[in-house]
Amino acid sequence: MAMRRRRLAWGIVGVTTVVLSTAFAVATLEASAEPTPGSSPGAAAAPSTVSNPSPGPAASAGVEDDPLTKEEVNQAKTVAMVPLTESAKDVTGAKGPEYLSAEIVVGGTGRDAAVYFYDYSTDELVKQVVDVTGGKVTGSFKAKQMQLPASDREVATAVDLLLADAAGTDVRALYTKVTGKPWTGKDQLKVEAHIYHAQPADTAAAKCGEHRCLQLVARVTDGPFVDLNDLIIDLSGRTVVRAK
């Protein structure tokens, strides 16, 4: 899955993002128009055949500043989480930080990955630099009030918190108003999310930015959008508030 570029400042450390992608080798087409050996003169030649093209196996490792392969991402993620598992918490409250993304460290001496997590126990963005080849963490950084895009699990958790809140009644009613159909479950909506930072006039959502908060972009599955812009889900505080 492709990831967009971003640059984060960590003191004097700069990180350049490159897009994560999977390299594929393309199989060649093979054709033969030679007549069948031993065929009699004038006999029709055997028909040409074409092999079934299919992508080759995904590369297990990239070269120099190539994007991380899927295997490298999984390896780097596993290594990066080890020292964080006991102290950090994910969006569900379980042990271990919430994984967000990973990218190659451009210009490094080897295959180094920057792996990003959110620690809900301290409300901090965590960056672990991993020597993928050596299988070890070579740098660890933390910062408050720095937010990367939400993970799929964070979006799903935000939807669950919203529907469990009193505001969930409004969501169900709005769905019925938009579609003319009764609400049957959250699979009726396709939801994405933006990170929400508190605006100067915010009171109820004043913690957003310090806390990890989401503003949902929802649409009926294969249908119109449902306006939920005024509802802000504070994942850190596990509350739902209305933006001013």
Q: How many CB atoms lie within 10 A of CB 176?
A: 12
pTM assigned to the model: 0.74
Apex CA 200: angle with CA 197 and CA 204, to 5°?
Answer: 70
The closest of 99, 81, 90 to 151, measured between CA atoms, is 99
Give the per-residue pLDDT at 11: 37
Q: Check if the beta carbon of residue 190 is closer than 8 Å to that of residue 221.
A: yes
Hey, what domains does the chain have and what are their CATH numbers?
9-22+59-143 (3.10.450.40), 152-242 (3.10.450)
Mark out the alpha helices in 62-214 (DSSP H runs): 70-81, 152-164, 167-179
Classify burial at 217, counting beta carbons within 10 Å of its beta carbon; exposed 0-12, middle 13-18, buried 19 or more. Answer: middle
What phi, psi does 176 have (nearest 5°)? Answer: -65, -40
Give the per-residue pLDDT at 201: 87
Say what angle helices 167-179 and 152-164 make with each other, to 10 degrees: 100
- Structure-block tokens of residue 146: 């720095």
Q: What is the DSSP string of 10-57?
A: ETTEE----------PBPPP----PPPTTPPTTPPPPPP------B-P
- Distances in Å between the Cα of 67 and the Cα atoms of 14, 74, 110 are 17, 13, 12
pLDDT tens digits along 218-229: 999 889 999 999
Give the per-residue pLDDT at 110: 85
Classify strands 213-220 and 136-143 as parallel, antiparallel or unpaired.
Answer: unpaired
Q: Check if the beta carbon of residue 194 is closer than 8 Å to that of residue 217.
A: yes
- Distances in Å between the Cα of 190 and the Cα atoms of 78, 193, 216, 221, 225 are 30, 10, 10, 5, 9
**How would you write the pLDDT of the chain (244 residues) with one tens digit per residue?**
333 333 344 433 333 333 333 333 333 323 333 333 444 444 455 555 555 555 555 566 655 568 999 999 999 999 999 999 999 999 999 999 999 999 999 987 789 999 999 999 999 999 999 999 999 999 999 999 999 999 999 999 999 999 999 999 999 999 999 999 999 999 999 999 999 999 888 888 999 999 999 999 999 988 999 999 999 999 999 999 998 6
Give the per-residue pLDDT at 135: 96
